[in-house]
Amino acid sequence: MARRDENDEIDQLISELHASASPAPPATGDTGRLERWLRILVDAGGSDLLLVPGAPPTIRVDTRVRALADGPLDGLDVEESVIPALPPYARRQYRQALSADGSFRLS
């Protein structure tokens, strides 16, 4: 039964990803903080943005991690910064597993 549920989820994800040739719908909330952190990451030539409750936003540049000037984040800060930028399938995945993958395009 679990295998069937997993296959159904994969089929649903594929359907959503191929639903239209148009770009993903715009983010559903304020993505300003996330966009600012990502711009810092891109400008620094970094590869990863690390958002961990209890720590400031951190970027990885050439295998080194560097904390950004923002103070430590709590769990709500992380959720409020990231969830609005997730596509629907990733928001669902996050609600179910508290983990999700998604992409976000800076405009």
CA-only gyration radius of the chain, Å: 16
Tell me the pLDDT tens digit for each residue of 58-100. Answer: 999 999 999 999 989 999 999 999 999 888 888 888 888 988 8
Per the prediction, the chain carries an average pLDDT of: 83
- State the pTM of this model: 0.70
- The structural domain count of the chain equals 1
Q: Sign of the C-alpha dihedral, residues 54, 80, 98, 44?
A: negative
Residue 90 within a domain: yes
Whole-number pLDDT of residue 55: 96
Residue 59 within a domain: yes
Distance, in Å, from the CA atom of 57 to the CA atom of 49, rounded to the nearest integer, reads 7
Whichever domain contains 63, its CATH number is 3.30.450.90
Domain that holds residue 35: 30-107
Least confident of 33-42, 49-58, 74-83, 95-104: 95-104
